[in-house]
Amino acid sequence: MKVVDTDISNFKILRLGDSSMNKGEVELIELEECPKNLDMIVGFPDVGLVGVIASSFLVRRLEMKTIAYMDSSMFPPVLPFHKSRPHFPLRISTDGNLVVLFSEIAVPVKSYGAIAETIMEYAIRNEAKSIIMLGGIAVQNRIEIVKPSVYILPTKEELLKEIKLPELKSLDEGFLAGIYAVLMKEMMKRNLKGYVLLAESHLGYPDPGAAASVLEVLSRLLNLDIDIKPLLEQEEELRLHLRDLMKRTVETLRSAQKTYEQTPPLLYR
Amino acid sequence: MEEFFDIIRRIREEVRRTFEELEEDLERLLIRSREGIIEPLSYVYESPREILITVDLPLVKSREDIDLEVREGKLILEAKIAHSPVLDVENPFYRRCVYKCYRKVFPLPDDVILETIKARFVRGVLEIRIPRKVRGFRVSIE
């Protein structure tokens, strides 16, 4: 499988964000124009690394091209490299039909607000059809579950009527915590359409099985042709390989008050 | 003035300690990688009645490949990895590293009942339940 990634050691910047980047800001570095009116998929390291496994699989499987990066002085001082090419850890890719944003580092909680602002600005400017966040929801009995169920939480109630998939369950009561909570709030403020898809997952173990469930639902919702077999075949290898990212993500989740998701909501509202 | 030197001394001490810790971490990681031993991800949940330990053991084929032993107040886990992962990743740190087994030692508190420890291995996750001696007594409520 070929990955069409832009070589940043030799890239031409189309648009550079505020180059006098101050503490507390996120810079958007655009290499190419983003196609307009597409669905935008978002995957951040979170519960079971579901979002990042699913979205990075999409990028690879659909042979997407990197079109933008995000950077901030708040991010850890790391630079991933793939096939001898350096990359920014947070990048946006597209195949012309779908836009995928994913991060291969656990971003610090203090940067959530600035990341959300930057994503909103990017989505509005490129007239994103919807913003779909992929993730996991921790369940105690995950080892007993063969095929994890997928839950949906939309920004607008009417979306639930539009989306009619019998296997998709709605999240009725509770709390959403972490970066997706911040993103959802920003989307609601701006009246943007979108939803979070959360698969039942291990909390602190990488869960490619949950990522496969999320991708299955996503492909039905967006009529995508994605073969998730390779993801399931590499499940155990991925779990071993993503151990360190999982460890770092769990540390971040602690400060993101992720345990809120296990808190029962108010009875009377 | 003395206060100023105290602050400088404290900062130097903190920097020295941080570097020592970093060195230890890297050294441990390198030795373990050379031997092909890796520490699995694990969680320990404690309740007054039991200790529940879960360990993620991908690429361990079956329960026969897992050794679980209680020795000197510790629970020692070793599990054979069926094959080293083949992912298209080229990282100098991992290039010569062949994963052979997982190893993890869990210190046990004094109040556990060792004879009735139960373990099960489901879909690559090991779950160990260690009952605790119930201390105290029930108070009846009138």
What pLDDT is stored for residue B125 in this prediction? Answer: 95
Return residues 122-151 of A near B (CB < 8 Å). Answer: 142-144
Whether residue B56 and residue A144 make contact (CB cut-off 8 A), yes or no, is no
Name the band, by pLDDT with cuts 50, 70 and 90, for residue B31.
low
Q: B78: helix, coil or strand? A: strand
Distance from CA of B26 to the nearest CA of A (A): 14
The CA-to-CA distance between both ends of chain B, in Å, stands at 67
What pLDDT is stored for residue B1 in this prediction? Answer: 67
Residue whose entry in the numeric block shows the structure tokens 């949950």: A210
Tell me, yes or no, if B98 comes closer than 8 A to chain A by beta carbon: no
What pLDDT is stored for residue A23 in this prediction? Answer: 54
Whole-number Å distance between alpha carbons of A111 and A256 = 11
- DSSP string across chain A: -------GGGPPPSEE--SSPPTT--EEEESSPPPSS-EEEEE-S-GGGHHHHHHHHHHHHTT-EEEEEEE-TTS-S---EETTEE--SEEEEE-SSEEEEEESS---GGGHHHHHHHHHHHHHHTT-SEEEEEEEEE-TTGGG-SS--EEEEESSTHHHHH---TTEEE--SS---SHHHHHHHHHHHTT--EEEEEEEE-SSS--HHHHHHHHHHHHHHHT-----HHHHHTHHHHHHHTHHHHHHHHHHHHHTTGGGGGS---S--
Smallest Cβ–Cβ distance between B86 and the set A83, A206, A237 belongs to: A237
> How high is the ipTM of this complex?
0.77
Chain A partners of B87 at a C-beta cutoff of 8 Å? 234, 237-238, 241
What's the whole-number mean pLDDT along residues B13-23? 78
pLDDT of B89 above 60:
no
What's the whole-number mean pLDDT along residues B83-102? 63
Q: Where do the domains of chain A lie, and which CATH numbers do they carry?
A: 19-261 (3.40.50.10900)
Architecture of domain B38-131: Sandwich (2.60)
Tell me, yes or no, if B4 comes closer than 8 A to chain A by beta carbon: no
Name the band, by pLDDT with cuts 50, 70 and 90, for residue B92.
very low
What's the whole-number mean pLDDT along residues B18-41? 72
Whether residue A205 and residue B99 make contact (CB cut-off 8 A), yes or no, is no
What pLDDT is stored for residue A19 in this prediction? Answer: 47
Task: Domain ranges for chain B, please list them.
Answer: 1-35, 38-131
Phi first, then psi, for residue B46 (nearest 5°) are -110, 135
Whether residue A236 and residue B89 make contact (CB cut-off 8 A), yes or no, is no
Quick check: B99 and A240 in contact, CB under 8 A?
yes
Whether residue B125 and residue A143 make contact (CB cut-off 8 A), yes or no, is yes
Quote the mean pLDDT of chain B: 83
Q: For the whole prediction, is pTM greater than 0.90?
A: no
What pLDDT is stored for residue A16 in this prediction? Answer: 62
Tell me, yes or no, if B41 comes closer than 8 A to chain A by beta carbon: yes
pLDDT of B70 above 80:
yes
Residue of A nearest to B101 (CA): A240
Tell me, yes or no, if A238 comes closer than 8 A to chain B by beta carbon: yes
Quick check: B27 and B103 in contact, CB under 8 A?
no
Distance from CA of A73 to the nearest CA of B (A): 22
Name the burial class of residue A251, with classes exposed (0-12), middle (13-18) and buried (19+) by CB atoms within 10 angstroms of its CB: exposed
- Could you read off the pLDDT tens digit of each residue along chain A, which spans 269 residues? 334 444 455 555 666 655 455 556 899 999 999 999 999 999 999 999 999 999 999 999 999 999 999 999 999 888 888 777 888 999 999 999 999 999 999 999 999 999 999 999 999 999 999 999 999 999 989 999 999 999 999 998 888 888 878 889 988 888 898 999 999 999 999 999 999 999 999 999 999 999 999 999 999 999 999 999 999 998 998 898 888 889 888 888 877 776 667 676 666 65
